[in-house]
Chain A
């Protein structure tokens, strides 16, 4: 049975005065799934606080860069069309980060979505939800997104010697495994044994 409160949309809007986009659905097993997009990522903390008071548990955080919106080429003499934006005006340029916070409310799932333009930052939810600690540390190493006021912004999985934002860069396998391609291995062998005659 779904336990998501009926007035959740109203409560979310109160916590996020910049505006929200909300939709919810219940499946044939009565499990509810709701999606709330914030117009401003600055409202994240107050929404997080509201959900904390409702007894929500933070399941996890997803981050990615949605691909750029397709804009038709302008005809000759016409001004290029502006890029479409996400709710709140963040451009759909392929660089903007979408951050999805998946909350569990006794079995139902509410996903709160915030958009942050490239080079931007977002508040840490870790002071409110201890379970945000590891996901936020992980997202900082996978993307160049900065989490403000994270209490322990250490690397989680990726070695500190590797630059961050690994999901934003193509890393050749040979670089990743530190053998820097077979060429350098042969150069090393030849340095030891001498070049073939």
Chain B
């Protein structure tokens, strides 16, 4: 068998966004992977220091579409800490609802693409059809299917009346058997299992070493979820089960996402059950933001999203730094792909649910 190098990307059918992989293979087996990033580097971290605090709520929502709710949420949380703003209880619950709605849609999208990559096209279309219900929910409640504009500094920009709560519960009730059925298919179907069990393994020790987060970490046995470890919004009042598996393979990552999508539905119900009355923002007028610095974290669909904000006496931040979950998970890909078969490369890359726009900013 001979050694050769396969270029994958920057544009490739298996990647929704551009990333270049230089893959050294021996016969059918991967020896080494070099990742070359930067094809969608937009300098958003520079741009954010040229806009004022409030304009940046809009900008952060546009860093990424799949976790578009997590960015303005973490950013707003950091600014609220600096300004000493305590958001109303109703806003905390509404933030959690928005978070979980996005999580269901994001996880189903990734798991659907997995079905496509293993060649199970009817399952791919079925999962995407189920996900479509959550897209409709987003459109009905927030007026948009991806960038839902739920957050503002001091609270949320949306509210739900009894009619919308009824609609949301109705949609969730219809979603439950559909998601349960999908979980059962991924748990038992031989064509899924054959292509995902024992593939792209990341051990517990490697996961700790790489510092991976989110479903990638939890599928490797790391019990870490920001919603439980560092609760924000209403999560300290919700019962949030953390799903953990031990094998660290592609299948485990998919199963974690499916179980979390199912749990997210329960969390939305918990929020609706406990939704307090009251205002949705802490103040009527835009607050003055004093100098200061703060850290804020939230559990985006792909894992821990962390924001650092430094304000001086200017209305524009001196520095805003954020680290998206994919940023850490990319590095682990080199370990997952080691000794993998060429035909599994796309499946393994998809299994970290990579977000390139997020990573490169």
Contact = CB atoms under 8 A, between A and B. Distances in A.
A62 B41 contact: no
Interface in B211-252: 211, 224, 226, 228-232, 236
A133 B41 CA distance: 18
A100 B272 CA distance: 39
A191 to B, nearest CB: 31
Nearest to A176: B43
B269 interface: no
A76 interface: no
A27 B87 CA distance: 13
Given A29-B236, A134-B330, A156-B38, A67 B304 contact: no
Interface in B183-223: 208-211
A135 B295 CA distance: 17
B125 interface: no
A130 interface: yes
Nearest to A129: B211
A4 B308 CA distance: 19
Contacts of B38: 155-159
B331 A134 contact: yes
Nearest to A28: B86
A156 B232 CA distance: 32
Contacts of A111: 295, 308
Q: Among B86, B231, B295, B297, find the residue whose CB has the most chain A CB atoms closer than 10 A.
A: B295
Contacts of B41: 157-158
B37 A102 contact: no
A107 B18 CA distance: 32
B331 A67 contact: no
A105 to B, nearest CB: 10
A42 B289 CA distance: 34
B295 A156 contact: no
A107 B229 contact: yes
Nearest to B314: A67
A29 B231 contact: yes
Given A59-B304, A64-B319, A104-B304, A156 B231 contact: no
A134 B45 CA distance: 16
B22 interface: no
Contact of B210 (A67, A130, A155, A157): A130
Given A133-B331, A157-B38, A107 B319 contact: no
A156 B229 CA distance: 31
A167 B211 contact: no
A161 B322 CA distance: 26
Given A62-B319, A159-B38, A131 B226 contact: no
A153 B275 CA distance: 50
Interface in A49-63: 57-60, 62
User: Interface of chain A, helix or strand or loop or mixed?
Assistant: mixed
Nearest to A156: B37
Contacts of B327: 60, 134
Q: Among A29, A62, A134, A159, find the residue whose CB has the most chain B CB atoms closer than 10 A.
A: A62
A130 B310 CA distance: 26
A144 B109 CA distance: 40
A11 B312 CA distance: 31
Q: Among A59, A142, A167, find the residue whose CB has the most chain B CB atoms closer than 10 A.
A: A59
A124 interface: no
A31 B230 contact: yes
A2 to B, nearest CB: 10
A108 interface: yes
A177 to B, nearest CB: 12
Contacts of A96: none
Nearest to A100: B308
29 contacts: A28-B86, A29-B231, A29-B232, A31-B230, A31-B231, A33-B294, A59-B211, A59-B304, A59-B323, A60-B321, A60-B323, A60-B327, A62-B319, A64-B310, A64-B319, A66-B318, A100-B321, A104-B304, A106-B229, A107-B224, A107-B229, A107-B230, A109-B297, A111-B308, A131-B210, A134-B330, A157-B37, A157-B41, A166-B43
Interface of A: 27-29, 31, 33, 35, 57-60, 62, 64, 66-67, 100, 102, 104, 106-109, 111, 129-131, 133-135, 142, 155-159, 166-167
Given A102-B306, A111-B308, 17 more contacts: A31-B230, A59-B304, A59-B306, A60-B306, A60-B321, A60-B327, A64-B319, A64-B321, A106-B224, A107-B226, A107-B229, A130-B331, A134-B330, A135-B323, A142-B45, A156-B38, A157-B41
Interface of B: 37-38, 41, 43, 45-46, 81, 86, 208-211, 224, 226, 228-232, 236, 293-295, 297, 304, 306, 308, 310, 312, 318-319, 321-323, 327-328, 330-331, 360
Across the A-B interface, give the 6 residue pairs with the lowest CB-CB distance, nearest first: A107-B229, A131-B211, A60-B323, A157-B38, A62-B321, A107-B230
